Amino acid sequence: MADFKYEIVEELGVISESSKGWTKELNLVSWNGAQPKYDIRDWAPEHQKMGKGITLTKEEALQLAELLNNITE
């Protein structure tokens, strides 16, 4: 697997935390120097390891926010 670089441009918030200290976070992340995207994934403490996640453009994030706002119990 090829190496890749990432930079967390802005930490937007923690969604949840596991008993092992990993956190599911929403961040603005630049992958391989590209334009930053909204990113949801699990991170180890200090961001030294990451789990699989999903990246979203601003438009996709806004659409997701709209869909989440329509969730009812």
Q: What's the pLDDT tens digit per position in 14-61?
A: 999 999 999 999 999 999 999 999 999 999 999 999 999 999 999 999
* pTM for the predicted model, two decimal places: 0.88
CATH architecture for the domain at 6-69: Roll (2.30)
What pLDDT, on the 0 to 100 scale, is given for residue 1? 59
Going from N- to C-terminal start, the domains of the chain cover: 6-69
Kindly report the CA angle at 59 between 58 and 60, in degrees rounded to 5? 90
| Residue, of 2 and 65, whose pLDDT is higher | 65
C-alpha 73/C-alpha 13 separation (Å) is 23
C-alpha 30/C-alpha 48 separation (Å) is 16
What pLDDT, on the 0 to 100 scale, is given for residue 42? 98
| Residue, of 22 and 4, whose pLDDT is higher | 22
Instruction: With CA atoms as reference, report the closest residue to 36 among 17, 56, 62.
Output: 56
Phi, psi of 33 (to 5 degrees): 80, 5
